[in-house]
Amino acid sequence: MHTLSLRALSESLQNKSFSSVELTQHLLNRIEKHHSLNTFISVSKESALANAKAADKRIQEGKASLLTGIPIAHKDLFCTKESTTTCASQMLANYTSPFDATIVNQFATQGMVQIGKTNMDEFAMGSANEFSHFGPAHNPWDSTRVPGGSSGGSAAAVAAGLTPLATGSDTGGSIRQPAAFCGVSGIKPTYGLVSRYGMVAYASSLDQGGPIAKSAEDLAYSLQVMAGFDPKDSTSADQPVPDFCSELKTSLKDLRIGIPSCFFSPDVDEAIQDSIKAALKVFEGEGAELVEIELKLQPYWVPCYYVIACAEASSNLSRFDGVRYGHRAEHAENLIDLITRSRSEGFGVEVKRRILTGTYVLSAGYFDAYYVQAQKVRRMIQDELLASFDNVDVVLGPTTPTCAFPIGEEIANPTQRYLADVFTVAANLAGLPALSIPAGLNENNLPIGLQLMGKPFSEPKLLGVAHAFQQRTDWHKAMPKEYV
């Protein structure tokens, strides 16, 4: 059951090969069995089984939609009334939201079964899932290695067959990088396509929720549910939702694929370069045209990203002051002491690092040199990327410069690890859709991710191209042995 695609699961539920309760119980058992991966922060056994039962009834009554009865896990920064919403922080370790995030609602309305909340980097800040108050999540391909981050729990859970679908959030690569490290598929949609209401903010102008699943086709079905205008999110796009499956069958003939030379620098692992080049052969074989492009501003992507993300984070995380909810320090002597101690105790090291960085770049005397400058650079990066789509349909490259690294490395050298986002942050800065799909395994049997970037709202195209690749390759079907 746990290796099936969403469509196969749906068909099995419809023709009663198994029930939603059986499927849910099977996955709950697997979650328990593979507890040591630490992919979940909370598991909602009882409510999941109750919802599965209700889904079975709905299927029985013929009122089911495609995803009814299929389990889903949410990254623990999506607000849910069921269970806690911790953001993997001590600050919110006991926090329960009084409302469901818009996307949580959308999946629940389809009759999907929420089985639990996945592990992540604290407040989505990190690239390895090591900065979690609840301990690191492990990569199912090699449990001594990280699953990537910040949506590490979601990607690892899908890779290990603990859930067929998990939500993630992507501010600088937090869906795509862990998807690449864990050998699964993940998409960061166009900014504004998916509602941010109920997704605890890290950097509001960059954050975007999206699905992590086993294939591009699964992503298309999931995105169909998640996407759409939300009056509660002023930055959500008020336009019709396209059919994300519409281009799943289109041919690759005459597709113009942009290949930025900067994505193939010597800093990129050789195995990754080889895999991406092999993938390009596949596309070429199907009649696609490869076009070399220059992205001159690539060296500025990461610095620009960190200035803006940290600035917004420093303000977004100000609400955690110990006054109304969340961690409150004991024995505070006065107001400032209460706020200072609550935040000092409640936040982890990486969150503090980014809050301090963000506070600095917004401070009087530094604001123009950092924040304003970064906004100008961001605009230039956006213009350059958008202009590149005048010539090409998609931009292709590796998702990451390395494969999953050993646990402990990011903590030892955090700013060096910011470079793990080197290829992914551009899509966030420019608001573009981008996805990562598996494209190979390296010499250590670790997954390699391929990234496709498109122009705004070109998700159907990206998913179509990714699906075509997955029709001709089997990398997305590969699973770590112990979890098959």
Catalytic annotation, pick one of 12, 154, 169, 174: 174
For residue 70, give the nearest of 214, 259, 274 by alpha carbon.
214
Q: Are 409 and 128 in contact (CB under 8 A)?
A: yes
Catalytic annotation, pick one of 89, 150, 154, 185: 150
Interface with other proteins (CB under 8 A), residue from 94, 109, 144, 318: 318
Peptide bond into 344 cis (omega under 30): no
Q: Are 210 and 226 in contact (CB under 8 A)?
A: yes
Shortest approach of other proteins to residue 259 CB, angstroms? 32
Catalytic annotation, pick one of 10, 75, 127, 215: 75
Nearer to other proteins, 53 or 81 (CB): 81
Shortest approach of other proteins to residue 204 CB, angstroms? 4
Give, as ranges, the residues between 72 and 91 that touch other proteins (CB under 8 A).
77-79, 85, 87
Q: Are 186 and 155 in contact (CB under 8 A)?
A: yes
Shortest approach of other proteins to residue 120 CB, angstroms? 14
Q: Are 116 and 43 in contact (CB under 8 A)?
A: yes
DSSP string, 259-299: EEGGGGSTTS-HHHHHHHHHHHHHHHHTT-EEEEE--TTHH
257 vs 397: CA distance, rounded Å: 10
- Six-digit token pair at 440? 């190979």
- Is 376 catalytic? The answer is no
Interface with other proteins (CB under 8 A), residue from 196, 378, 461, 467: 196
311 binds other proteins (CB under 8 A): yes
Give, as ranges, the residues between 335 and 374 that touch other proteins (CB under 8 A).
335-336, 339, 359, 362-364, 367, 371
- Helix (H/G/I), strand (E/B), else coil: 386: helix
312 binds other proteins (CB under 8 A): yes
Q: What is the DSSP letter of 133?
A: T
Q: How many Cβ atoms sit within 10 Å of the Cβ of residue 371?
A: 20
Strands 447-453 and 434-441: antiparallel
Interface with other proteins (CB under 8 A), residue from 105, 143, 235, 382: 235
Nearer to other proteins, 62 or 98 (CB): 98
304 binds other proteins (CB under 8 A): no
Q: Give the residue carrying structure tokens 């770049």.
A: 361
Nearer to other proteins, 296 or 366 (CB): 366
Kindly tell me the sign of the dihedral angle through the C-alpha atoms of 455, 459, 461, 465. Answer: positive
Straight-line distance from the first to the last Cα atom of the chain, in angstroms, rounded to the nearest whole number? 10
Counting residues that bind other proteins (by CB under 8 A) gives 46
Give, as ranges, the residues between 87 and 126 that touch other proteins (CB under 8 A).
87, 92, 95, 97-99, 101
Shortest approach of other proteins to residue 432 CB, angstroms? 17
- Is 154 catalytic? The answer is no
Give, as ranges, the residues between 373 and 432 that touch other proteins (CB under 8 A).
none
Shortest approach of other proteins to residue 95 CB, angstroms? 7
Candidate ranges 142-150, 233-241, 266-274, 475-483; the one touching other proteins (CB under 8 A): 233-241
Interface with other proteins (CB under 8 A), residue from 249, 319, 376, 379: 319
Length of the chain: 484
Q: Are 156 and 182 in contact (CB under 8 A)?
A: yes
- Is 174 catalytic? The answer is yes
Shortest approach of other proteins to residue 45 CB, angstroms? 24
Shortest approach of other proteins to residue 323 CB, angstroms? 5
Strands 165-170 and 208-213: antiparallel
- Six-digit token pair at 398? 């590796």
Catalytic residues, by residue number, are 75, 150, 174
Q: Please report, as ranges, the residues that interact with other proteins according to CB under 8 A.
A: 77-79, 85, 87, 92, 95, 97-99, 101, 196-201, 203-205, 231-235, 311-312, 314-315, 317-321, 323-325, 335-336, 339, 359, 362-364, 367, 371
